[in-house]
Structure 1
Amino acid sequence: MKYYFDTEDGPTRETSHPNFVNSMTSGFYYDCTDEFSPFGSDDGADLLYNLEDWYREKRLIRNTAKWMFNQIDEMGFEYKSKDCSELMDLKTIKEIQEKDEYLILSMDNSIIATGFGQIKITGKIDTKLKFVTLKALDRQILVNNEDKNSVDYISRMEKMKLDLSNFK
């Protein structure tokens, strides 16, 4: 299996698997300065970089979700990311955000970057990781739905959800 890794310039079509290039056609997928893109936030950029290193070392496509949750938990949040990744109840999410303000956003940015990163690097996505990534996108839509200033952000999450849902 051939893997595709980025250069110092960051994500480009030339350093992405053809399956990613053909399915994720919007330019924002390659914009590491766009906070709404999978690799544009600090969390997303770090996860992509670490995921590339992990593939270089392990050459594995399995256990990516387990690796990802370990990466997120190493950020030092109060709650375990695997448990929080299941949440879709807005009341519970808001309670967690009151105690650990950045957990949900950092976790979801990391999950989204890992899901799209796996496709970018390998041309595939694990079924479990795809499910968790779609849930992270849904959670970000849910959390930001009441904020009138989040229209562009929600639109981007919906576009990524559509692209990922259509990816085979």
Structure 2
Amino acid sequence: MSNTYELSPENAHIKARELFKEEFYWSPIEETSPFGSDDGSDAFYQFREWRETNKTASPFIFIETLLDTWGYSRGPAPHDAEVVEYLMERSVLGTNNVIIAVGFGQFVLEGKIDKDLLARTIQSVEAECAPSRLSVFAEDYRSTRLEQLTILRKALDKMAL
């Protein structure tokens, strides 16, 4: 596999190119893009590489391994309440970012999304729309994030068809 792959509409499955029209989908830095956060970008590229040798395996095998490797599945260990709260927020956001990136990533790569992954991706997007989750972001970014999450949610409905 070439290490020069760049996530772009030109390199995506035709179904992804047709559905993901908004520019933010392809941004490597837009936090709400499925691939714009550090977690989302890393998860997508690692999933792409993993998928080369695991074409028929459940994407959840990859997700569970990655989350475990990154320590998100274990939860926080420190006893300082403020640190625990931060790590919990970071773990929830990171886990949702990974699931969203792999869900949208499978569609970018294959033009389809695993049925169970679709359901879990919808849950992750909807969870990030909650006021408590939006409050993690800067106040002046929250409305943009919610708008973009709403676009992602609508796209998921179309991906299911």
Cα deviation digits, residues 13-34 of structure 1 (max 9, x gap): 1110001111121111111121
Identity of aligned residues (%): 24
Quote the Cα distance in structure 2 between the aligned partners of 1:112 and 1:27.
Answer: 17
2:58 alignment partner, one of 60, 63, 70: 63
CA 1:155–1:6 in structure 2 vs 1: closer, same or farther (change >3 Å)? farther
1:75 alignment partner, one of 70, 74, 77: 70
Matched-pair contact (CA < 8 Å) for 1:115–1:133: yes
Give the TM-score of the pair, scaled to structure 2.
0.82
Displacement of 1:99 in angstroms is 5.6
- Matched residues, number: 148
Quote the Cα distance in structure 1 between the aligned partners of 2:2 and 2:158.
Answer: 24
Q: Structure 1 unaligned segments of length 5 or more: list them.
A: 80-95
Quote the Cα distance in structure 2 between the aligned partners of 1:100 and 1:160.
Answer: 24
Quote the Cα distance in structure 1 between the aligned partners of 2:3 and 2:99.
Answer: 22
Matched-pair contact (CA < 8 Å) for 1:47–1:110: yes
Displacement of 1:127 in angstroms is 0.6
Q: Which residue of 2 aligns with 1:26?
A: 22
Give the TM-score of the pair, scaled to structure 1.
0.78
Matched-pair contact (CA < 8 Å) for 1:48–1:113: yes
Matched-pair contact (CA < 8 Å) for 1:51–1:114: yes
Q: Which residue of 1 aligns with 2:79?
A: none
Structure in which a larger fraction of residues adopt helix: 2
Matched-pair contact (CA < 8 Å) for 1:32–1:45: yes
CA 1:137–1:154 in structure 2 vs 1: closer, same or farther (change >3 Å)? same
Give the superposed CA RMSD. 2.3
Cα deviation digits, residues 68-103 of structure 1 (max 9, x gap): 122112111333xxxxxxxxxxxxxxxx84562310
Alignment of 1:12-161 (within 5 A): 12-60=8-56, 62-77=57-72, 78-79=74-75, 97=85, 100-142=88-130, 143-145=132-134, 148-149=139-140, 150-161=142-153
Moved over 4 A (4+): 96-99, 145-148
Q: Structure 2 unaligned segments of length 5 or more: list them.
A: 76-83
